[in-house]
């Protein structure tokens, strides 16, 4: 292992004439928590409407949207995606608003992953 002396810009001279090295401490950063966005099954919202929502608001292709819709239908709910808090909150609001405007009781929720 080779020794590399500190750069001159990192050296400080104390009052007693000795040179010391200044080190910078980087704060530990945490990744922000992620949130699961889920669709819940109901007996009234048409399957085609759910597929349309998945394609429009989550950018899924038809095949992927159809698979998730079937999961919602068979299991009662499905995770549609995992997002930051702000993005998850926006997706939930968009889906709920769109469903209400089309008079469907579709429920979309989010929870911390």
Q: In what order do the strands lie in the sheet with 34-40?
A: 77-84, 34-40, 107-112
Q: Is the pLDDT of residue 9 over 80?
A: no
Are the beta carbons of 86 and 14 closer than 8 angstroms? Answer: no
How confident is the model at residue 25, as a pLDDT?
A: 83
How confident is the model at residue 28, as a pLDDT?
A: 87
What is this structure's pTM? 0.74
Angle at 79 between CA 74 and CA 84, to 5 degrees: 170
pLDDT single digits (tens) 25-81? 888 889 999 999 999 999 999 999 999 999 999 999 999 999 999 999 999 999 999
How confident is the model at residue 15, as a pLDDT?
A: 60
């Amino acid at each position: 292992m080779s020794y590399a002396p500190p750069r001159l810009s990192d050296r400080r001279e104390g009052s007693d004439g000795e040179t010391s090295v200044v080190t910078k401490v980087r704060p530990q950063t945490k990744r922000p928590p992620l949130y699961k966005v889920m669709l819940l099954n109901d007996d009234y919202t048409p399957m085609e409407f759910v597929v349309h929502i998945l394609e429009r608001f989550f950018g899924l292709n038809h095949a992927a949207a159809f698979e998730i819709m079937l999961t919602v239908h068979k299991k009662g709910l499905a995770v549609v995606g995992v997002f930051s808090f702000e993005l998850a909150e926006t997706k939930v609001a968009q889906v709920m608003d769109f469903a209400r405007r089309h008079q469907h009781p579709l429920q979309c929720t989010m929870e911390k992953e």
